[in-house]
Amino acid sequence: MNFERGFDYIIVGAGAAGCVIAYRLIKNLGCSVLLLEAGNPDNNPAIHNTDMQSMTSLWGSNADWGYSTEPEPGLGDRRISIAQGKVLGGGTSINAMMYIRGNRRDYDRWKFLGNEGWSYQEVLPYLKKSEDYEGGASAYRGVGGPLHVVNYHNPAPVSQAFVSAAMELGYAGDGWDCNGEQQENGAFFYQSTRTQDNQRCSTAVAFLKPILGHPNLTVATNALVTRLLFANQQVVGVEYLQDGKLQQVKAESEVILSCGAFESPKLLMLSGIGPAEHLQAHGIPLVVDLPGVGKNLQDHLLFGVGYRCKQEQPLPNLLSEAGLFVYTSNDIDDTSIASPDLQFFFGPVQFLEPQYLVDGPGFTFAPILVQPQSRGTVSLRSNNPNDLAVVRANYLQSDADLDVLIRGIELSRELANTRAFDEFRGEELAPGVSVTSKSELSNYIRQVASTVWHPVGTCKMGIDPDAVVNPQLQVYGVERLRVVDASIMPTITSGNTNAPTIAIGEKAADDLIIATR
């Protein structure tokens, strides 16, 4: 090995989790940190603007890895494109900014699966620690943290009708905080991560900007890490490609992978950590046979139930203004660890597949499958680090998943048919009132459903043979290597995945800090 430089910690990936870890290590330890990011600095103004047009312009841009799935059998063999951030801030620089912590049962289930330290009560302090909530501190909410979280101001009249409609159907509403004591069964307006002056509050803005220039921190952009370097079973550094040049850097303490749910398993496999046969097929020397690397992929799916609106509505400033989490089945036997399986986005616009769009005002319910039973995979396309991984999400492989989404259409219609919507409700544009049988509804869903960009689970934390990391997020079978990002979730959270991933970063940073004492 030919190390050019050495650092105490090397963090690979400056996304949701990576920026948090860099911030906490720099603030709390007198150690040197190298943060390597494959993408560019976040100096494109569209990253920071919070209008919908700027946001959507980032998807498919050079700030996006450009991932698509293989043809998905459960979705009519369509390839689903899944934007993933490739820029300082990672996903948080291109995401839809909605702030949802997940359900308390999500974390209790992680603990139930053998992950000591990950119950809701144990993760809650980390969710609060990051946060600077404009609604103020409480037993559940934090203030004074780097991540500024705001309430939705001035929702459109039809989005207010969504909350009233849910209340007509017996759900709670009226100031419901889905990030507070109870997430489910109350309609709410989405909170979002924005700076005080209404710019995007990515983790690069919140956590990285305040420490840029610190003498202990080195940040390298356009630096694609190509493999981990080992001395026997110990990780001693990484190799990365920058400006066409391969460089090797030494890690005196640990390497932390925070590359996200597609790139973290890819980098482990490129480095010889993964299913032995798969690595052999690509001619990669085996370091550890870890069959679970790249398995257990979970993602959220959404689609639209759209209506014409009888009144013009103001433009929204989030993809979804109002929402609700519910259980679709009464026979969930143990609600103590079962999370709600259906989430709603709702917006004062038509956000449907192009073939359904019509002129004039509209509103859309978007049911989201938040506890999918289907599991997908991430595997290597080749042993070339520049190639994207092969993603098979296996969406709607499980019939139970389809049933949840069918219930999502029924519940959208029940909500739309309440008195609260009388002054707004026009024609049902999609799927259309004539679409009612189970097979017709299923066909519609399979034709139009798409990702909410929440891949997780591909380097799962656990204590079973498919686990990739232990509850301290250390990779099994090697020393001095952790994975800290959305890929470690054993099961996906009910709701958008950014806040949970930031909390994973906070908890891992605390473990690292405590380990040095």
Selection from 74, 88, 71, 163 nearest residue 398 by Cα: 74
> Is 317 among the residues that bind ligand FAD (CB under 6 A)?
no
The minimum distance between CB 169 and ligand FAD, in angstroms, equals 26
Applying CB under 6 A, which of residues 46, 57, 59, 70 lies at the interface with ligand FAD?
59
Distance, CA of 111 to CA of 115 (rounded, Å) = 4
Are 475 and 458 in contact by the 8 Å Cβ rule? The answer is: no
> Is 96 among the residues that bind ligand FAD (CB under 6 A)?
yes
Distance, CA of 10 to CA of 238 (rounded, Å) = 8
Are 40 and 65 in contact by the 8 Å Cβ rule? The answer is: no
Q: Report CA-CA distances (Å) from 158 to 188, 190, 288, 416, 457.
A: 13, 15, 55, 10, 36
By C-beta, is 394 or 497 nearer to ligand FAD? 497
Distance, CA of 484 to CA of 258 (rounded, Å) = 5
Draw the binding track, 456-495, toward ligand FAD (x: CB under 6 A; -: no contact): -----------------------------xx---------
> Is 270 among the residues that bind ligand FAD (CB under 6 A)?
no
Are 288 and 468 in contact by the 8 Å Cβ rule? The answer is: no
The minimum distance between CB 443 and ligand FAD, in angstroms, equals 27
By C-beta, is 25 or 36 nearer to ligand FAD? 36
Q: By three-state DSSP, how is residue 74 classified? A: helix
Selection from 229, 250, 256, 253 nearest residue 483 by Cα: 256
> Is 259 among the residues that bind ligand FAD (CB under 6 A)?
yes
Distance, CA of 373 to CA of 384 (rounded, Å) = 32
By C-beta, is 17 or 411 nearer to ligand FAD? 17
Applying CB under 6 A, which of residues 38, 228, 229, 489 lies at the interface with ligand FAD?
38
Single-letter residue type at 222: N
Draw the binding track, 178-217, toward ligand FAD (x: CB under 6 A; -: no contact): ----------------------------------------
> Is 72 among the residues that bind ligand FAD (CB under 6 A)?
no
Taking contact as CB under 6 A, which single stretch among the options 78-86, 110-118, 406-414, 420-428 is the one that binds ligand FAD? 78-86
φ/ψ of 239, rounded to 5, equals -110, 135
Q: Give the pair of three-digit tokens for residue 387.
A: 């190639």
> Is 450 among the residues that bind ligand FAD (CB under 6 A)?
no
> Is 255 among the residues that bind ligand FAD (CB under 6 A)?
no
Applying CB under 6 A, which of residues 29, 35, 39, 449 lies at the interface with ligand FAD?
39
Q: Give the pair of three-digit tokens for residue 180.
A: 């507070």
Q: Give the pair of three-digit tokens for residue 100.
A: 């949802």
Q: By three-state DSSP, how is residue 355 classified? A: helix
CA atoms within 13 A on the CB side of 115: 28
Residue with tokens 């192009």: 354
Strand partners for 239 = 227, 248
Draw the binding track, 212-231, toward ligand FAD (x: CB under 6 A; -: no contact): -----------xxx------
The minimum distance between CB 256 and ligand FAD, in angstroms, equals 11
Applying CB under 6 A, which of residues 263, 321, 341, 506 lies at the interface with ligand FAD?
263
The minimum distance between CB 506 and ligand FAD, in angstroms, equals 12
Applying CB under 6 A, which of residues 34, 36, 149, 205 lies at the interface with ligand FAD?
36
> Is 14 among the residues that bind ligand FAD (CB under 6 A)?
yes
By C-beta, is 253 or 496 nearer to ligand FAD? 496
By C-beta, is 287 or 416 nearer to ligand FAD? 287
φ/ψ bin of 453: left (φ > 0), alpha (ψ from -120 to 50), beta (otherwise): left
- Pairing between strand 98-99 and 191-193? antiparallel
> Is 343 among the residues that bind ligand FAD (CB under 6 A)?
no
Q: How many CB atoms lie within 10 A of CB 288?
A: 20
Distance, CA of 478 to CA of 469 (rounded, Å) = 10
Residues 351-390 that bind ligand FAD (CB under 6 A): none
Distance, CA of 377 to CA of 59 (rounded, Å) = 23
The minimum distance between CB 388 and ligand FAD, in angstroms, equals 11
Classify residue 452 by burial, with Cβ atoms within 10 Å: 0-12, 13-18, 19+: buried
φ/ψ bin of 13: left (φ > 0), alpha (ψ from -120 to 50), beta (otherwise): left
The minimum distance between CB 270 and ligand FAD, in angstroms, equals 9
- Answer yes or no: 48 catalytic: no
Applying CB under 6 A, which of residues 11, 17, 409, 448 lies at the interface with ligand FAD?
17
> Is 302 among the residues that bind ligand FAD (CB under 6 A)?
no
> Is 91 among the residues that bind ligand FAD (CB under 6 A)?
yes
Applying CB under 6 A, which of residues 10, 94, 287, 290 lies at the interface with ligand FAD?
94
> Is 15 among the residues that bind ligand FAD (CB under 6 A)?
yes
Applying CB under 6 A, which of residues 306, 498, 503, 509 lies at the interface with ligand FAD?
498
By C-beta, is 225 or 411 nearer to ligand FAD? 225
Count of residues touching ligand FAD (by CB under 6 A): 42
Applying CB under 6 A, which of residues 158, 496, 508, 509 lies at the interface with ligand FAD?
496
List the catalytic residue out of 48, 148, 300, 454.
454
How many DSSP H helices and E strands does the chain contain?
Answer: 12, 25
Q: Give the pair of three-digit tokens for residue 49.
A: 């603007």
Q: Give the pair of three-digit tokens for residue 231.
A: 């001395």
Q: Give the pair of three-digit tokens for residue 265.
A: 């398993």
Active site residues: 454
Residues at the contact surface with ligand FAD, assessed by CB under 6 A: 12-18, 36-39, 59, 83-86, 90-92, 94-98, 100, 223-225, 258-260, 263, 267, 453-454, 485-486, 496-499, 501
